[in-house]
Homo-oligomer: A and B are copies of this chain.
Amino acid sequence: MTVYSPALDTTATRTLDLGPAVELVSKEEGHRQPLAPEFVSAEDFSPLEVAYDFGRVRREDIEAGPRNIWRYKKLLPVPSRVEEIPNTEPGCTRLVRADRLAKALGLRRVWVKDDTGNPTHSFKDRVVAVALAAAREFGFDTLACPSTGNLANAVAAAAARAGWQSVVLIPSSLERAKILTTAVYDGALIAVDGNYDDVNRLATQLAAENEGWAFVNVNVRPYYSEGSKTLAFEVAEQLGWRLPEQIVVPIASGSQLTKVDKGFRELGQLGLVEETPYRVYGAQATGCSPVSTAFRNGHDVVQPVKPDTIARSLAIGNPADGPYVLDTVHRTGGSIEDVTDEEVVAGIRLLARTEGIFTETAGGVTVATAKKLVETGKLDPDAETVLLITGDGLKTLDALEDRIGPKATVPPSADAVREALGG
């Protein structure tokens, strides 16, 4: 255990600096406990969430900050001088006015939040950056996760940049391309003979047994998940410090959707934006739609499912934040829908064709769900709508395989090209 020995400082011997974060609170019964690398309340067994004492936060302070998520450091559980620590500097991705997509969807005004511009081309860079910053403060120096895709890339890249060790667990059957995109960062990529459930169980076991590893989505999850708030902060700032009327968010664990809502609320509470009403909409693939199904049936618990969809980055059959997603959607007056894999591909193609943005399957879910929500009258066509595009099409090329290709194959002659183009 030499290389991976526990490296935790004890909070008794040093002052913890996680900026405005003051304690952890259990989501169900509000039990409070000190900030620590823990994720479940020992009192009521519900998830722990970070509580803050924000003090005064002004737009000018944020605007004067760096062009990445650390401009919002006063709203995150990270050290006060976090921007001085080497990190991948995610965030401040484009908010694109999407008039051609809007027209195709039958909406008046649409904005696409294009998170493919992040360092490893998904929103996971945001949550991992916050996790690493908090984990560093707790004394960790190894970042770990189980993952088959975006999270693996983000963890391995962030650890490399910080000079940390990473431990990424993947099923050994994973496609070669997905192995390469994590292996290149040269951390400890471990292939496990088993399916993704086996890998996940192993990660939970290792997180419990080894204090030296920060499993981003396990023992430091309360900090990690706060990173998703930066999507809300950026949308509001990029709109000129105001909230959109409608936002469509894909659902995997459900954490992102609830944190986007939390981000909007915090901005309102701090007076950084006017507290105008907004509706939050959830998007799932039909092949893994436990939250959408619960919403449709009027349930407040979510029945686990066995995922079967091309939208693998959303394929969490037992979403931890499912009930909180239902709360958020009900409270804001939104809705949840799910779409078939065929619709997902159509969504990817629609966004690419109209706006030149190539999203992974999760983004296809968001676009296709928006289309369905318009068609069923649940999205108001006259209200301004934001779509969260959280990952890159280069990561899920297999979803397009056998579905698209050249318009024509011709001999090398100008006439042949013209003829192929209907000349």
Asked whether any CB of chain B lies closer than 8 Å to the CB of A54, the reply is no
Asked whether any CB of chain B lies closer than 8 Å to the CB of A394, the reply is yes
Chain B minimum-CB-distance residue to A142 = B421
B422 & A3 in contact (Cβ 8 Å cutoff): yes
B186 & A397 in contact (Cβ 8 Å cutoff): no
- Spot the interface stretch: A266-274, A308-316, A407-415: A407-415
Copies of the protein in its oligomer: 2
One of B118, B209, B348 near A414 (C-beta < 8 A): B209
A 7-38 to B, binary, CB cutoff 8 A, 1 in contact else 0: 00000000000000000000000000000000
A192 & B86 in contact (Cβ 8 Å cutoff): no
In the complex, which residues of chain B have a beta carbon less than 8 angstroms from the beta carbon of A81?
A: none
- Spot the interface stretch: A43-51, A156-164, A321-329: A156-164
Known: A177-B397, A181-B394. A406 touches B191 (CB 8 A): yes
The CA of A407 and the CA of B88, in the complex, are separated in Å by 23
A 135-179 to B, binary, CB cutoff 8 A, 1 in contact else 0: 000000000000000000000111111110001011010001101
Known: A121-B121, A183-B404, A184-B393. A410 touches B193 (CB 8 A): yes
The CA of A240 and the CA of B348, in the complex, are separated in Å by 39
One of B86, B352, B412 near A193 (C-beta < 8 A): B412
The CA of A202 and the CA of B367, in the complex, are separated in Å by 38
Asked whether any CB of chain B lies closer than 8 Å to the CB of A74, the reply is no
A interface residue numbers (CB < 8 A to B): 1-4, 67, 86, 88-89, 92, 94, 96-97, 99-100, 114, 116-121, 156-163, 167, 169-170, 172, 176-177, 179-181, 183-186, 188-194, 198-199, 201-202, 205-206, 209, 348-349, 352-358, 392-395, 397, 400-401, 404-414, 417-418, 420-423
Q: Supply 7 further A-B pairs (C-beta < 8 A) apart from A86-B99, A157-B356, A190-B421.
A: A88-B356, A100-B163, A117-B119, A119-B357, A185-B358, A188-B421, A190-B407
25 A-B residue pairs with CB within 8 Å: A2-B422, A3-B421, A4-B422, A67-B67, A86-B100, A117-B118, A117-B119, A121-B121, A121-B392, A157-B358, A160-B353, A161-B356, A183-B400, A183-B405, A184-B349, A184-B400, A188-B420, A191-B406, A191-B409, A192-B409, A192-B410, A192-B411, A193-B410, A194-B411, A194-B412
